[in-house]
Amino acid sequence: MRPFSNSSPVDAVGIQERADFFTKRSLKKESKVSALYLALRMCDLTTLEGADTPGRVIQLCEKAKNPMPPSVFHALFNDFAGQSAFAQIPSVAAVCVYPSTVAVAARALHGTGIGVASVATAFPSGQCPLEIKVQDVKYAIDQGASEIDMVINRGAFLSGDLQQVYDEIVEVKRVCGSVHLKVILETGELGSYDRVRLASDIAMEAGADFIKTSTGKITPAATLPVTLVMLQAISDFYQRTNKKVGMKPAGGIRTAKQAIQYLCMLYETLGPEWMTPDLFRFGASALVNDLLRQITKEVLGIYTYDKYFSVD
């Protein structure tokens, strides 16, 4: 492991000013519609509750395949046939569930191209022995997971045992093989932009395919400044290694307006090559309905009730 104590310090004032700049951006109509469709394709739908049931997972998978139910699509199209028609509403990128329900999701999504992601490694705390974390990951993959979302051990990180954090990610990536590994930093517990940058560097150096802000269980979760710190870490890593690492802000992104701000920041920080679900995701189930609502507004000129598309 390289000496991470030399990880680049973060200009906190500069980061906040730069992030604030993106909250003032606006897009013209055609560009806005394209951004809304892209954001929808980048969403991961998630259910990570103790009360999850196979029925709940199947329902979520149906929404992943058809974010706008066909009956709603046809009703809107028929009512407003004289106006511009919708482009085909895309499916989302993945469905994220606990390992115990991966098999249910894998069956429901078979042949769709939608990923089956599973949290593992003692989500959300990350507090268990490495051998149990490895078993957790192996089980999820055996059940059909195509993506693994692991959490770093924040206790080890905050106590300065960076080698343990690095070694655990290396071992989990070894077990994952070709299965994509997203490493969750849980930035709300790290305490500073410098620590977020350091954790990002460790995760990428250890083999992460994606770095992810949050579990969604801690506040604050994703924010524009924290995401910008991580995007800049990805940019520096790419310049040094020529390896593209993906980014996933998760938690607290609920509106299409916020999603567009993140996409503008992504484009201006990493460029057009990262404007794809292969390299950028939103961990924001609540976002999907507002994206559909805004698409309807832009295409048909009407606002719909946000739960017109589904009640989650």
Q: Which runs of E-coded beta strand occur in 68-179?
A: 94-97, 115-120, 147-151
Query: How much is the pTM?
Result: 0.93
Percent of the chain beyond pLDDT 70?
A: 94
pLDDT at residue 94, as a whole number? 98
pLDDT of residue 305: 77
Q: Binning pLDDT at 50, 70 and 90, where does residue 244 land? A: very high
- Please write the tens of the pLDDT for every residue from 266-285: 999 999 999 999 999 999 88
Q: Is the pLDDT of residue 82 over 50?
A: no
Confidence of residue 223 (pLDDT cuts 50, 70, 90): very high
Of 136, 182, 212, 290, the catalytic one is: 212
The predicted pLDDT at position 4 comes to 61
User: Do residues 182 and 209 make contact, with C-beta atoms less than 8 angstroms apart?
Assistant: yes
pLDDT value for 37: 96
User: Which one has a higher pLDDT value, 179 or 73?
Assistant: 179
Q: What is the DSSP string of 184-226?
A: E--GGGT-SHHHHHHHHHHHHHTT-SEEE---SSSSS---HHH
Strand partners, 283: 44, 250
Residue, of 53 and 25, whose pLDDT is higher: 53
> How confident is residue 292, by pLDDT bands cut at 50, 70 and 90?
very high
Q: Answer yes or no: are the C-beta atoms of 197 and 8 closer than 8 Å.
A: yes
Output the pLDDT for position 298.
Answer: 87
Contact assessment for residue 206 and residue 236, using Cβ atoms and an 8 Å cutoff: no
- Is 37 in contact with 88 (CB distance < 8 Å)? no
Q: Could you tell me the domains of the chain?
A: 6-28+93-283 (3.20.20.70)
At 113-169, the pLDDT tens digits run 999 999 999 999 999 999 999 999 999 999 999 999 999 999 999 999 999 999 999
**Average of per-residue pLDDT across 187-215:** 97
Q: Is 63 a catalytic residue?
A: no
State phi, psi for 288 to the nearest 5 degrees: -60, -45
Burial class for 217, CB neighbours closer than 10 Å (0-12, 13-18, 19+): middle
| Structure confidence at residue 312 as a pLDDT band (50, 70, 90) | low
Q: How many whole angstroms separate alpha carbon 251 and alpha carbon 282?
A: 9
List 44, 136, 149, 201, catalytic entry: 149
32 classed as catalytic: no
**Rounded Cα–Cα distance for residues 118 and 207 (Å):** 18
Q: Is 217 a catalytic residue?
A: no
Nearest to 108 by CA among 169, 49, 62: 62
